[in-house]
């Protein structure tokens, strides 16, 4: 653990070293990207060192247990239940990682005072946040990818061979990943100005409300008061609409969402995450660390 | 080392004590059936909103709960009565929560077909209105799913409403992906809805289209019942012919075994099975148990697996 700050700073140092061709090194887009990726790589390594990926062991045990015992309990619905169980666990574990690791990304650096070492390098606070965000997204990507492969293998095991669900579940997995990317952004936003406990709580609330966003819209439409209508409508657009990422039940029936809705959901996740990161950078940029 | 051993001992002893206490508490708990039948406080629609995207998993949970509920009721019935539960005695199980459990499961995941199929098979034995409500909600959510029309047609057939059953089979037969026999069943149901042959055909299609072992078992039993009805009809004819010729009823199967052997060659053209006989000449029912000769009538044996209704 004690090696981490030196790792991070060393990587940023090497990313900041001027290119052999010369020019204005510190602000070139290539260098900025290299610095951001150095932070991202470090955040990923830190998550791995923190044994975040150990949740995969629990996940695999859950799937093995499900694959073995569900046949007895589900009256021929093993495949559906394995997909529901696997993808729901993927979302749940991912949300927990996004929340509990996400809220600690910035706080830990402040607490250990390694942030000062990093920010003393030619790294902007925005780059620092973006790097942390990408690092956790990479961790979640590996997590989701391995879990998806686990579910696919469990389906092959249940069917004793090929099952079309093995392919059909992947669009839903992709949507889960982008939902987690949004939640990571939310966690990072809250952690940029709040304590970890409060950030975790607020992020969890956003996760819950995000799945009720259609109710917010319905409330806005059914409300007689103009101000209430405005408030609910504003909340509907302000909070992430996570219902667009709920494709688990459909995936368990082999239903693949149409390409347009998947692409729109991905575009929404990218835009919303960019907004969250911009807001987090704005707040974090004004924070006084003295 | 000593400290570790002590801690491990405490862990083992604690675990043992916890298991023992759980056993004591389980034993003290009154096996109150009403406790298991506590009403569902959350409706399907509310449950769906509360599940935060985990509605598929929640639907699976309610589905497995439905199966456990029926299973528990069967075990309790067989423990407290000196009888096995058959399909015809499902009404005696007091499955009052089953319609709600299936409804919640299908509301949480309207594309989940297994609860509809299970409901279509089991609920008509309790109250066919529940089955109709469940299947109509299924058709509303999945208007292009021909299997739901098949199941609803079956429920109406069970109610002897052959006209409605025919309409549903015909409507389902027009949907994309529906097998040709759906339309044929629609026509057959209209022409001879109450006949044994149409029942047999319907059960066979139900068997072929089902993946649920419980449903397949039920269908197998019903097909056995239909075959047995054919058997008994044929045996009664042989007995009647014997009575007419001899002026009395046969005392043993051996007296009419020759006639039964001759008759079985031409019997049951619809079921496709020939009447088997044991070494004593007694005809065997589809479950392999000898029929019982009672004067001039024939009855199912005591050990038979063939449902009586």
The Cα–Cα gap between B115 and A75 comes to: 10
Q: Name which of B50, B51, B59, B60 to mutate to probe chain A: the one with the most chain A Cβ atoms within 10 A of its Cβ.
A: B60
The Cα–Cα gap between A218 and B304 comes to: 59
The Cα–Cα gap between A41 and A131 comes to: 8
Q: What is residue A201's predicted lDDT score, i.e. its pLDDT?
A: 94
Secondary structure (DSSP) of B280-306: TS-EE-TTSPBPEEETTEEE--TT--S
Q: Are A140 and A132 in contact (CB under 8 A)?
A: no
3-state secondary structure (DSSP) of residue A286: helix
pLDDT surpasses 70 at A170:
yes
Q: What is residue B237's predicted lDDT score, i.e. its pLDDT?
A: 83
Q: Tell me: the pLDDT tens digits for A29-83?
A: 787 788 888 889 988 998 888 887 777 778 777 877 777 777 667 777 888 888 9
Chain A residues whose CB is inside 8 A of the B68 CB are 73
DSSP 8-class letter at A18: P
Q: Are B12 and B5 in contact (CB under 8 A)?
A: no
The Cα–Cα gap between A156 and A161 comes to: 5
Out of A77-81, A108-112, B35-39, B63-67, pick the least confident. Answer: B35-39
Chain A residues whose CB is inside 8 A of the B212 CB are 75-76
pLDDT surpasses 60 at B251:
yes
Query: What token pair was written down for A2?
Result: 């004690």
The length of chain B in residues reads: 309
Beta carbons of B60 and A253 less than 8 Å apart: no
Q: What is residue B264's predicted lDDT score, i.e. its pLDDT?
A: 64
Q: Is A242 on the interface with B (CB under 8 A)?
A: yes
pLDDT surpasses 80 at B25:
no
pLDDT surpasses 90 at A179:
yes
pLDDT surpasses 70 at A115:
yes
The length of chain A in residues reads: 290
Q: Which residue stretches of A112-169 are H helix?
A: 114-119, 125-159, 165-168
pLDDT surpasses 60 at A3:
no
Q: Which residues pair with B284 in a beta bridge?
A: B276, B290
Comparing alpha-carbon positions, the chain B residue that sits nearest to A207 is B52
Q: Tell me: the pLDDT tens digits for A208-244?
A: 999 888 788 888 888 788 888 888 888 888 889 898 8
**Report for A98-107, A179-188, B150-159, B281-290: range of highest mean pLDDT:** A179-188
In percent, how much of chain A has pLDDT > 90? 28
pLDDT surpasses 70 at B270:
no
3-state secondary structure (DSSP) of residue B276: strand
The Cα–Cα gap between A70 and A82 comes to: 8
Q: Are B191 and B221 in contact (CB under 8 A)?
A: no
Collect all residues with Cβ–Cβ distance below 8 Å to B142 and sequence separation of at least 6: B110, B111, B148
Comparing alpha-carbon positions, the chain A residue that sits nearest to B66 is A74
Chain A residues whose CB is inside 8 A of the B67 CB are 73-75
**Confidence class of residue A268 from pLDDT cuts 50, 70 and 90?**
very high
Beta carbons of A248 and B109 less than 8 Å apart: no
Chain B residues whose CB is inside 8 A of the A212 CB are 49
Out of A141-145, A262-266, B136-140, B290-294, pick the least confident. Answer: B290-294
Q: What is residue B43's predicted lDDT score, i.e. its pLDDT?
A: 67
Q: What is residue B10's predicted lDDT score, i.e. its pLDDT?
A: 87
**Confidence class of residue B284 from pLDDT cuts 50, 70 and 90?**
confident
Q: Tell me: the pLDDT tens digits for B199-242?
A: 787 788 878 877 777 777 877 888 888 888 888 888 888 888 88
Give the gap in angstroms from C-alpha A88 to the nearest C-alpha of chain B.
6
pLDDT surpasses 60 at A16:
no
Q: Is A284 on the interface with B (CB under 8 A)?
A: no
Give the gap in angstroms from C-alpha B283 to the nearest C-alpha of chain A.
35
DSSP 8-class letter at A122: S
pLDDT surpasses 70 at A17:
no
Q: What is residue A2's predicted lDDT score, i.e. its pLDDT?
A: 40
Beta carbons of A211 and B60 less than 8 Å apart: no
Arithmetic mean of pLDDT over chain A: 83
Secondary structure (DSSP) of A34-52: HHHHHHHHHHHHHHHHTTG
Collect all residues with Cβ–Cβ distance below 8 Å to A121 and sequence separation of at least 6: A9, A12, A13, A16, A35
Q: Give this prediction's pTM.
A: 0.72
What residue segments make up the domains of chain B, in order of their start? 43-142, 230-299
Beta carbons of A253 and B111 less than 8 Å apart: yes
Q: Name which of A207, A216, A249, A257 to mutate to probe chain B: the one with the most chain B Cβ atoms within 10 A of its Cβ.
A: A249
Range B267-284 average pLDDT:
70
Q: What is residue A217's predicted lDDT score, i.e. its pLDDT?
A: 82
Range B123-129 average pLDDT:
84
pLDDT surpasses 80 at B39:
no
Q: What is residue A1's predicted lDDT score, i.e. its pLDDT?
A: 38
């Amino acid at each position: 653990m004690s090696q981490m700050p030196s790792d991070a700073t060393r990587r940023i140092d090497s990313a900041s070293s001027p290119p052999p061709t010369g020019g204005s090194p510190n602000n070139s887009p290539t260098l900025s990207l290299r610095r951001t990726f150095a932070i991202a790589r470090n955040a990923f390594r830190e998550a791995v060192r923190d044994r975040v990926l150990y949740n995969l062991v629990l996940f695999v045990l859950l799937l093995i247990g499900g694959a073995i015992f569900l046949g007895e309990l589900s009256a021929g619905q093993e495949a559906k239940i394995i997909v529901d169980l696997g993808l729901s666990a993927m979302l749940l574990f991912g949300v927990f990682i996004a929340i509990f690791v996400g809220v600690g990304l910035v706080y830990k650096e402040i607490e250990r005072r390694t942030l000062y070492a990093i920010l003393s390098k030619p790294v902007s606070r925005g780059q620092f946040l973006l790097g942390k965000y990408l690092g956790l997204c990479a961790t979640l990507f590996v997590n989701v990818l391995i879990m998806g492969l686990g579910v696919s293998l469990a389906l092959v095991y249940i069917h004793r061979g090929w099952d079309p669900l093995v392919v059909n579940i992947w669009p839903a997995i992709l949507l889960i990943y982008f939902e987690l990317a949004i939640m990571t952004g939310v966690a990072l936003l809250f952690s940029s100005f709040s304590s970890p406990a409060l950030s975790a709580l607020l992020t969890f609330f956003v996760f819950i409300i995000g799945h009720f966003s259609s109710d917010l819209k319905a409330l806005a439409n059914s409300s007689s008061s103009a101000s209430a209508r405005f408030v609910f409508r504003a909340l509907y657009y302000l909070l992430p609409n996570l219902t667009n990422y709920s494709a688990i039940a459909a995936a368990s029936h082999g239903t693949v969402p149409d390409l347009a809705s998947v692409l729109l959901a991905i575009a929404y996740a990218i835009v919303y995450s960019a907004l969250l990161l911009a807001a987090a950078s704005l707040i974090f940029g004004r924070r006084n660390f003295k | 080392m000593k400290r570790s051993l002590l801690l491990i001992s405490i862990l083992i002893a604690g675990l043992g004590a916890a298991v023992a206490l759980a056993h004591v508490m389980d034993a003290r708990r009154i096996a109150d059936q009403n406790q298991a039948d506590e009403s569902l406080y959350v409706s399907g629609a509310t449950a769906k909103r509360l599940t935060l995207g985990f509605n598929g998993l929640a639907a699976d949970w309610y589905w497995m709960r439905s199966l456990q509920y029926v299973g528990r009721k069967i075990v309790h019935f067989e423990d407290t009565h000196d009888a096995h539960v058959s399909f015809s005695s499902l009404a005696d199980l007091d499955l009052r929560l089953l319609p709600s459990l299936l409804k919640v499961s299908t509301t949480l995941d309207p594309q989940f077909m297994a609860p509809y199929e299970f409901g279509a098979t089991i609920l008509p034995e309790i109250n066919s209105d529940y089955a109709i409500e469940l299947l109509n909600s299924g058709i509303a959510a999945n208007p292009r799913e021909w299997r739901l029309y098949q199941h609803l047609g079956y429920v109406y057939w069970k109610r002897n409403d052959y006209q409605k059953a025919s309409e549903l089979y015909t409507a389902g037969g027009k949907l994309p992906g529906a097998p040709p026999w759906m339309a044929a069943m629609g026509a057959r149901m209209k022409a001879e809805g109450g006949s044994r042959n149409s029942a047999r055909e319907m059960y066979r299609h139900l068997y072929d289209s089902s993946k649920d072992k419980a449903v397949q078992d039920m269908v197998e039993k019903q097909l056995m019942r239909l075959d047995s009805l054919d058997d008994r009809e044929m045996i009664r004819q042989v007995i009647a012919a014997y009575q007419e010729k001899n002026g009395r009823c046969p005392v043993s199967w051996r007296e009419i075994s020759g006639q039964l052997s001759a008759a079985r060659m031409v019997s049951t053209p619809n079921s496709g099975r020939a009447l088997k006989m044991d070494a004593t000449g007694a005809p065997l029912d589809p479950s392999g148990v000898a029929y019982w000769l009672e004067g001039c009538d024939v009855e199912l044996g005591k050990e038979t697996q063939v449902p009586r209704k």
